Amino acid sequence: MKIRLKGVPIVVSAPSGAGKTTLCRLIAQKYKGISYSVSATTRPPRRNEKNAIDYFFLSEEEFKRWIKKGNLIEWAKVHKYYYGTPKKTFEETLKKGYNIVMDIDVQGGINIKKLFPYGIYMFLLTKNVDILKKRLTKRMTDTKKSIKERIKNARKEMQSINEYDYIVINDTIKKTLDTISAILIAEGCLIERNSLIIKTFKKNL
């Protein structure tokens, strides 16, 4: 499927466990013109996660070196670990005219929006908090203490929801993908994103 978007960052933020990573990867698979942004992190790999595919797994010392060298376009400390977006890949992707979908935390989303106000910013939620808790428990990667911490952080993240353009409820994968697809199609039809088409049409009238 094609969309009329070129060189646009697509940011998806959500409380931990809402499913943003899965959905972002599916978006990148569905649309030829969208690449998935692989983040860097200091958190240890989960089961079946691979370096440079799921994340760039770095030590805290390596991550801080990346910060000093300017290798990250944005970074933040979330859930006691550092997360960031590699700058070179991000900028090269946009320059080539590809869109880039990012599953990043609220701090990162707000930082990207300051740099790229023309991007598309979506906040993903589950239907209710009980579903979020169940998902965190079901994935079996977090302790009870960690789950409580993530729910606590979700309350803080919700305070920044007005920084985003859209709220998407992650009910079923199909419904959520359909909703995101509708947003991307509509965004591709915005007047401000089609200045070249309009200019060419007017010229040939």
Average pLDDT over residues 187-193: 94
Which pLDDT does position 141 carry in this prediction? 67
- Pairing outcome for strands 9-13 and 99-103: parallel
* Inside any domain, residue 3: no
* Inside any domain, residue 47: yes
CB-based contact 123:169 (threshold 8 Å): no
Please check the confidence at residue 188 and state whether its pLDDT lies above 80: yes
194: confidence class by pLDDT, cuts 50, 70, 90: very high
Q: What is the pLDDT of residues 130-159, one digit of tens each?
A: 888 887 877 766 677 777 887 888 888 889
* Inside any domain, residue 35: yes
pLDDT greater at residue 129 or residue 107:
107
Q: Which two tokens stand for residue 154?
A: 């979700």
**Alpha helix positions (H), the chain:** 20-30, 60-69, 87-95, 106-115, 129-138, 144-158, 173-188, 195-203
Dump the DSSP string for 10-68.
EEEE--TTS-HHHHHHHHHHH-TTEEEPPPEE-SPPPTT--BTTTBEE--HHHHHHHHH
Please check the confidence at residue 109 and state whether its pLDDT lies above 80: yes
Q: Which domain holds residue 116?
A: 9-203
Q: Give the span between the Cα atoms of 56 and 58, in whole angstroms.
A: 6
How many structural domains comprise the chain? 1
Please check the confidence at residue 85 and state whether its pLDDT lies above 90: yes
- Mean pLDDT of the residues in the chain: 92
Q: What is the pLDDT of residues 11-43, one digit of tens each?
A: 999 988 888 999 999 999 999 899 999 999 999
Q: Give the span between the Cα atoms of 173 and 170, in whole angstroms.
A: 7
* Inside any domain, residue 128: yes
pLDDT greater at residue 63 or residue 134:
63
Give the angle subtended at the CA of 80 by the CAs of 78 and 85, to the nearest 5°. 40
CATH code at 179? 3.40.50.300
Please check the confidence at residue 104 and state whether its pLDDT lies above 70: yes
* Inside any domain, residue 172: yes
CB-based contact 202:51 (threshold 8 Å): no
Which pLDDT does position 140 carry in this prediction? 66
pTM for the predicted model, two decimal places: 0.90
* Inside any domain, residue 174: yes
* Inside any domain, residue 1: no
* Inside any domain, residue 2: no
Please check the confidence at residue 68 and state whether its pLDDT lies above 80: yes
Q: How many CA atoms lie within 13 A of 29 on its CB side?
A: 7
Q: Which among 98, 127, 115 has a CA at the least distance from the CA of 14?
A: 127
